Structures are given as structure tokens and as C-alpha cells.
Amino acid sequence: MARDLGSLWHPFTQHASWPGDDPIVVERGEGCYLYDTDGNRYLDGVSSLWLSVHGHGVPEIDAAVRDQLGRLAHTTFLGLTHEPGIELAEQLLATAPDGLTRVFFAGDGSSAVEAALKMAYQSRVQRGRPGALFLHVAEGYHGDTLGAVSVGGIDLFHGTYRPILLETRLVGSPGVLGPGQSRAQRAAEVLDEMRAVLAGEDGQVCAVVVEPMVQAAGGMLTHEASFVRGVRALCDEFGALMVVDEVATGIGRTGRMWAVEHAGVAPDLMTCGKGLTGGYLPLSAVLATEEVYAAFLGTPAQGRTFFHGHSYTANPLCCAAAIANLRLIESRETVAHAAWVGERIGELTKGLAEYAGVRELRRIGTMTGIEVEPVAERTGFAVCRAARRRGVWVRPLGDVVVLMPPLAIGDADLELLCGAVDESIREVVR
Ligand SMILES: *Cc1c(COP(=O)(O)O)cnc(C)c1O
């Protein structure tokens, strides 16, 4: 730790309090557990920040990466192609919502969002519709690069940067309810607000960007499927593209392969990341419709090319991990298992949902947020510290305690996770 404190700057970390937070130094991972350098083990209750699918140290994924390493670690994807990239694109499209036919690879969730925003704008321009506004939702989160921050809506994270961001239009969050309001009423209200903006801007909105079914980083704010369907209908009516960010919700997290399946709609552009490589390596993708893709075709001189890419686009090691991950998801029926995990979390947290110290418990599939009554500064953090003493590692979003275990978690570990969090909340929030 002394060496860490002497040299590092961690993401989303207040370094004035970091030394006092007694950080864990992780040495290895196995299954759903992380082991520290003192030999303690912790259940990884948030999948190492929403990534891990089959757990840590999965023999099949390890072997796939090693095998690929024996052939090729990396080559550019600019003007070259390779089998792992092709294979992964085919596998992704085989699972994707109807109409998505093209895969563009990026590195992290944020960079997938950047690519999707540029694709949305450019494809419309090249079809003769030059609108440059993005419409997005309060409490939304799409990553930390400037384009992604521009379509974010969490003041604490994004407010500081407003002067250096793109011009956008913001509507309310479908997951933040007025007093006595139902989720269905709130969805309808935000859709009305969206309609007014789209009508008022008269074709200037090129895309509507949403996290489908749940705004994860905003505090696991769930909303009705009617909201997602309504966004699709408004995009069709006003000629805007529907961009869904499935970086958190995709790859089985909500108990379906993609969260948009709950609503039965298909977007024009869809991002995925986080669980794509099973929590192994950084890789993300944008899936696009043939219509969006076709808008980029032309002679080189026409300049209709998508001038965007990264040094490590479609890195073969990352692709190999993702292919092995998707194969395991299919052969082990991991998405159906994830739906069961979600139901089990629901049962095991029933008592908490009624506890006076809990404001609201929100969940879709395995994505669970337990909003506790603040009793001090950093109440959510205090609950997570108490859980750590019980052998469970979870990280909160403010005063929302997040549970998001690896999709493959079994019943005994789920009981440990939910039991430890239940006791910790009762200990901290009396
Ligand atoms: C985490 C997240 C991102 C950003 O992904 P990174 O890999 O951290 O850049 C984007 N969108 C959503 C919905 C996310 O949850």
C-alpha cells in the first residue's frame, strides 16, 4: 500500500480519504471470490464492477486466451482482418435484436458510446439530415470520455464538465418518481417531455440515447418497458436514431441476453461492453442496422467513410476471450441461470425491502440496488465496509448498495451475499 500511495491515482476515487479506507490489495481470483495478499477471501458481490460473468479463473476462457496468444497477440484491424474478430462479430449478431447486422469494435464502454454518437450523426448527415443534437435522460450514464459525458445526466459526475461538452437536450429520468407516482405514469410523463423536445427541435435531434430498463450508475433506477417502447415510437415518428447503451445491461445481466428484449424493440445502434469478455479483457462493440451502415458507403473520394478507430480495435486476445465467454453462456444456459439468480436475490432480500432503514429496493434480473436511509456521510460506503468484515466485497453508488454478482453464482454464495448485506444494513442503518 505504501507504494500504491506513493505513485497511483485511482479512478472514481477521492484520494484524500483513500489511505484511510484501508484498501484491499487483490492477489488472485477464483470463481466468485477475490483473495487479498493477506490470504483473506471476499465474495465478489459486484462482479468487479459489473463485468464478471462466469467468475474469475474460468479454465475455458483462460485456455482460449492462451491458445490465441500462441498464434497472434495483435495486429491492426485497419485494412486487415482476422478470424477471432470475424467469429466474434458473427456470434454477437446471432444473439442480437432483429435488424442489427454490423459490428464495430471498440475498447471500453465509453469508446463504444463515442463511436455510436459519431455514427448516428454522420449517418444522418450522409442521408441529407444534418441535425446535431443528442437527446438524453437525467441520471443517465454512458462513460467518462467527453462525448459520453455529454449524454450523461448525473450531476455529481458530469456537472463540472458542462462548459466543455456537446450541446444536447435533456429530459427527466423515467426512474425518478414524483410523490405517489407509478413507474408507468412516470414513463408516460417523460415520453411526453421527449415528444415536446423532438417536436420543438424540428429534425435537429439526430439520436435519442438511453440505457434500456435500468439506469445503472444513476443508482439502479429501473423503469417500465413501456418507456423503451415509447422511445422507439418517438424516434420513428421524428426520424431520430435510437441508440441503446447495453454496456451494463447486455450479455445476460437483466435475465435476458439484451435488456431491450424485455420491451420487444430493436434499436438502430446498440453498444455493449463490460461482460462481453466475461470480465477478462477490455473490449466493446457497437451493433448497427444495415441502414445506418449503408449510409457510409461510397467512393473513397466521397469521404463517407467512418473515420474512427483505435490502435487496438478488435484485439485478437480480447476477441478470443469474448468468443469463449459467449460459447459458455450458450452451453451453460447462463442467461436463464441469471434470470434465476435475479429471482433468488428477490427472495433473499425480501426482508430488507420491508426494513425501515431501506427506502427502496430496485431490481431487474441480477442488477440490484438497495437504497438505504442516510444516517451519516457515506452511509452506503459504511454498509459496504460492514459487509467486507463478513467476507463480501460490494461497492455502493452513493447510498444505494449495489448487488450484481457474477451471473454464474450458485445458491450458497447468493445466501452469503444477501445475508451479509442484510446484516450490514441492519447494523449501520438502525
Ligand atoms: C460502465 C458503463 C459505460 C462505460 O463503460 P467503460 O468500459 O467503463 O468505459 C457506458 N455505459 C454504461 C451504461 C455503463 O454502465
Of the CATH numbers 3.30.420.40, 1.20.1250.20, 3.50.30.30, 3.90.1150.10, which one belongs to the domain with range 2-54+333-428?
3.90.1150.10
Tell me, in angstroms, the distance from the centre of ligand 1 to residue 142's CA: 5
Task: Kindly give, in sequence order, each residue whose CB lies less than 8 Å from that of residue 304, ignoring residues fewer than 6 positions away.
Answer: 126, 295, 296, 297, 298
CATH architecture assignment, domain 63-331: 3-Layer(aba) Sandwich (3.40)
Say what the pLDDT of residue 122 is: 98
Model confidence at 420, in pLDDT bands (50, 70, 90)?
very high
Say what the pLDDT of residue 253 is: 98
Local structure of 85: helix, strand or coil? helix
Could you tell me if the CB of 425 is within 6 A of ligand 1?
no
Model confidence at 116, in pLDDT bands (50, 70, 90)?
very high
Share of the chain above pLDDT 90, in %: 99
Positions of CATH 3.40.640.10 in the chain: 63-331
Say what the pLDDT of residue 229 is: 98
Tell me, in angstroms, the distance from the centre of ligand 1 to residue 109's CA: 4
Task: Give the position, in ligand 1's atom list, of the atom nearest the Cα of 245.
Answer: 13
Task: Kindly give, in sequence order, each residue whose CB lies less than 8 Å from that of residue 365, ignoring residues fewer than 6 positions away.
Answer: 252, 253, 254, 255, 256, 338, 339, 341, 342
How many Cα atoms are found within 13 Å in the side-chain-facing hemisphere of 423? Answer: 13
Could you tell me if the CB of 109 is within 6 A of ligand 1?
yes
Positions of CATH 3.90.1150.10 in the chain: 2-54+333-428
What angle, 0 to 180 degrees and rounded to 10, lies between the N-to-C axes of helices 334-348 and 316-331?
Answer: 70
Among 154, 246, 274, residue to substitute to test ligand 1 (most atoms within 8 Å of Cβ): 274
Question: What's the mean pLDDT in 263-269?
Answer: 98
List pLDDT tens digits, range 334-367.
999 999 999 999 999 999 999 999 999 999 999 9
Question: What's the mean pLDDT in 381-390?
Answer: 97
Say what the pLDDT of residue 296 is: 98
Could you tell me if the CB of 273 is within 6 A of ligand 1?
yes
Say what the pLDDT of residue 25 is: 97
- Which residue intervals of 309-407 are DSSP H helices? 316-331, 334-348, 350-353, 379-389
